[in-house]
Amino acid sequence: MWAMTTLTQRPEPRVETRNPGMPFDPGQLAEIRVNRSAVERRAATIPTRRTVKREWQAAWLIRAVQCLDLTTLAGDDTPGTVRRLAAKARQPVRADVLRRFGLAPGSVRVAALCVYHAMVPAAVEALRDTGIPVAAVSTGFPAGQTPRRLKLEEIRESVAAGASEIDIVISRAHVLTGDWSALYEEVRAFREACGPARMKAILACGELGTLRNVAQASWVCMAAGADFIKTSTGKEAVNATLPFGLVMARAIRDYHQTSGARVGLKPAGGIRTAKQALDWLLLVKEELGETWLQPSLFRIGASSLLTDIERQLWHTLTGRYAASHHQPMP
């Protein structure tokens, strides 16, 4: 675990990794099995077996902020909305709070700002010279029910506009009908369209039917070159859950053992409290190890989570919870 000394250290330099993928092998998929009851029992222990308190909790929550994809994906987004969120991305925690933890203002930032394609230019301009990447959701987000040529064009246009990360959505029908070769070819084409941009493959686990489908879809997307696998769009009825995360984390571990490549994990959708963020950090630490607890390999996609993390950090300092309007979005 991280002690309070972690808070006084500058964030580790970002080491971006790329997953080259590997040839599609139907035999590997056939061997994948998932024991649902065992997964659910294991996932249920994560929030109950461990607790982190005071300075330890603060250190974990600072790491959660550093792994946050601060997100706005609303129908009423405007360039002004994105600029305000970009200001929060640059300084996600109040300067006076950081100083009391021994951190300089500006030393803590989020991992990325995630927006729709139309908002990419505004996000890129607002984050110019900060080093914070812009992630664009793409390929007919959230349902993915558009022609492939349009999906590929959307990816290319987002990259041309300055997005350095692309969150693609897979065609759920390929999973539900067991057409794994079609899924592989689709995701491989998306990866090629991304060019230098890192690609996160959104599985929409809540719409895949079974945990085995989640495990198999995770493997196919990684084999096709996904740099991250992501639980959800945030628009499904069921989004990021610990059982989904556990299955995906173990698929990532197996893929690393097979290929040598490290693939990141991104839970997204419904993660609103600091406690939930801690649960995900614990899951990743226990299943994948501390190597994965950095922005290059772990992200949390969220919009309202940051406010609760700030309230918890204030409680660590003062013993009191601040009102939400004391940590407003700019």
Q: Which residues are catalytic?
A: 167, 230, 266
Contacts of 95 (CB under 8 A, 6+ apart): 105
Contacts of 83 (CB under 8 A, 6+ apart): 122, 126
Number of H helices, E strands in the chain: 13, 8
DSSP-derived letter for residue 129 is T
Smallest CA-to-CA distance from 29 within 168, 184, 170, 167 is with 184
What is the H or E stretch that residue 257 is in?
helix 242-259
> 203 with 139: CB under 8 angstroms?
no
> 244 with 214: CB under 8 angstroms?
yes
Query: Would you call the peptide bond into 330 cis, given omega within 30 degrees of 0 as the criterion?
Result: no
Show the tokens assigned to 62. Answer: 């600072």
What is the signed CA dihedral for 17, 22, 25, 29, rounded to 10 degrees? 0
Smallest CA-to-CA distance from 200 within 173, 237, 157, 233 is with 233
The number of angstroms, rounded, from the C-alpha of 136 to the middle of its chain's C-alpha atoms is 13
Distances (CA, A) of 293 to 183, 186, 299: 29, 29, 9
Please list the residues that pair with 264 across neighbouring strands: 228
Query: Would you call the peptide bond into 142 cis, given omega within 30 degrees of 0 as the criterion?
Result: yes
Rg (CA), the chain: 19
Residue 318 to residue 79: CA distance in whole angstroms = 36
DSSP-derived letter for residue 291 is G
